Amino acid sequence: MLPTTLLAALALAGSLLGPPATPPPPLADDGPQIPSVTADSWIVYDLEADVVLARWNANVEHSMASVTKVMSAIVVLEHADVDELVTVPAAATAARGSSAGLVAGEERTVNELLIAMLVRSGNDAALTLASHVGGGSVDAFVQLMNAKAAALGMTATKFANPNGLDEEDHYSTATDLLTLTKASLDYPDIGRIARIRQLQLPEDPTGKTRELHTTNALLGTYPGVVGLKTGDTPWADKVLLGVAERGSRTILTVVMHSDDHFADSRELMDWAFRTYGLRDRMLRIFFSDQGGGAVSGATLDLTESEERRLTAMPALDDGRWRMSRLEDLPKAALIGEWLKDVLPRSVGGNG
């Protein structure tokens, strides 16, 4: 059995906040405050620890706008090669909303169309890809989208189109969109394209050049942001799926029905990076003044700043957070096996 202090540290490695009925109480001055944003629904997730750090109304259904195109991209990549040539159908060029300026009859590669869809959020590109993969039928493509959502466990999501325009049967939740964001990380092409801030497409058949600029204003302005997708429609308001990397930590955020999806996402990311990660929680147990026994003979190889950070870490549980139990932490089994292998060689005893 693992030492009690280690079990406690692991059990409290991630903060799991449910959507309370009343506003959460403020934390003490030595802890990060619960984020305050305009979004009606939101969620913050620590990828390294595989733990939801905080959430609010995360299971409420909303229109999802153009973040729909992340699922469209996943389905396309599972059914087409990025080098395939696609002819733009006339019906796609008549799409409402944002456009990449495609011309009926021109040929573009799947890769170029994915860029037009994810970077510029072109509805014409989404419809072109949907028609191509669906064998000429956009409805057939939408069926593939819903099948993929079911396979991912997105039980509160329904797709009615590939571009995100408002429809009654087109909705999702912050929880399901977090699942979609995590799934997108398994597709390197999506990650590559999501980082593009500006790109010029080849000339169209009339000789006109087209420059695509990202709709994600956080790219290049917020340190560490590498994606993912924005959305904005009358029913959905502003929506954003965010991915930010700093050091060993990757933070994922979802905001829905927001007044300012960029400001809200920045606030959530700021808050998340101020919290302590799984590595901090694991290392903190090697400091005896945290409570319990000290570990002797362990080589941590920490910098002075890391030691100061760990020494200053507040108590793991001040009674105001709802913490995840060890058995609820998805990586608990893996961490437990690692500890059982490593600790007998380094632990001098526990108190």
Residues labelled catalytic: 66, 69, 121
**Dihedral through CA 103, CA 105, CA 107, CA 112, nearest 10?**
30
As a whole number of angstroms, the distance between CA 64 and CA 194 comes to: 18
Of 165, 180, 212, which is closest to residue 193 (Cα–Cα)?
212
Q: How far is C-alpha 239 from the chain's CA centre?
A: 12
As a whole number of angstroms, the distance between CA 166 and CA 143 comes to: 17
Cα–Cα distances (Å) from 216 to 151, 187, 196, 221, 272, in that order, read 28, 19, 10, 10, 20
Cα–Cα distances (Å) from 244 to 44, 173, 181, 195, in that order, read 11, 21, 12, 11
As a whole number of angstroms, the distance between CA 117 and CA 113 comes to: 6
As a whole number of angstroms, the distance between CA 156 and CA 171 comes to: 8
Residue at token pair 């910098």: 303
The H or E element spanning position 269 is helix 261-274
- Residue 313 sits at the vertex; the CA angle it makes with 307 and 317, to the nearest 5 degrees, is 150
As a whole number of angstroms, the distance between CA 87 and CA 77 comes to: 17
